[in-house]
Amino acid sequence: NPADYAELVRTDSAGAVVTFLGTTRNENAGRTVTLLEYEGYRPMADKMLARVADEMAERWELGGVAIGHRLGPVGIGEISLVVAASAAHRAAAFEAVGYAVDRIKQIVPIWKKERFEGGHVWIGSQDGKEFTPLG
């Protein structure tokens, strides 16, 4: 529940709470998407998500940070990623959340299989490029 993440970061000193929701859209690269399936090694993914949260706290004066990423199947319109941050002023919260989304795509070992009408393709979260996994 995204509201739970926003509530986790709220503080009395925060004038801003910014929440990003990454959702499954129904089209990508001209293909009709029917489902995304996320895979990753949860202990390593959680470690890297915590690293992103630490980087946010080092760069901006934040009241709180909360990040969650789903694994497994995610239907059209469903939420796969939640990033929430609070700060005294909105600029820091917006900047931190934007940074986090980009950084998560760079370093967190989570991959997605995009299912579309007529097939599927694996997409690596670190660079957004399509690839074929071994095995």
The per-residue pLDDT for 132 is 38
Contact indicator for 70, 38 with CB cutoff of 8 Å? yes
* Element housing 32 (H / E): strand 31-40
The per-residue pLDDT for 16 is 98
* Strand order, beta sheet including 16-23: 16-23, 79-87, 62-69
The per-residue pLDDT for 117 is 87
The per-residue pLDDT for 113 is 95
- Over range 78-103, report the average pLDDT: 98
The per-residue pLDDT for 124 is 67
- Over range 70-80, report the average pLDDT: 97
For residue 94, pLDDT beyond 90: yes
Question: DSSP per residue over 53-91, as a string?
Answer: HHHHHHHS-EEEEEEEE--EEEETT-EEEEEEEEESSHH
For residue 110, pLDDT beyond 60: yes
- Over range 124-129, report the average pLDDT: 51
Among 60-74, 78-92, 114-128, the least confident range: 114-128
For residue 72, pLDDT beyond 90: yes
For residue 126, pLDDT beyond 80: no
> What pTM value is reported for the model?
0.88
The per-residue pLDDT for 29 is 87
- Residue 48 CA, distance from chain mean position: 12
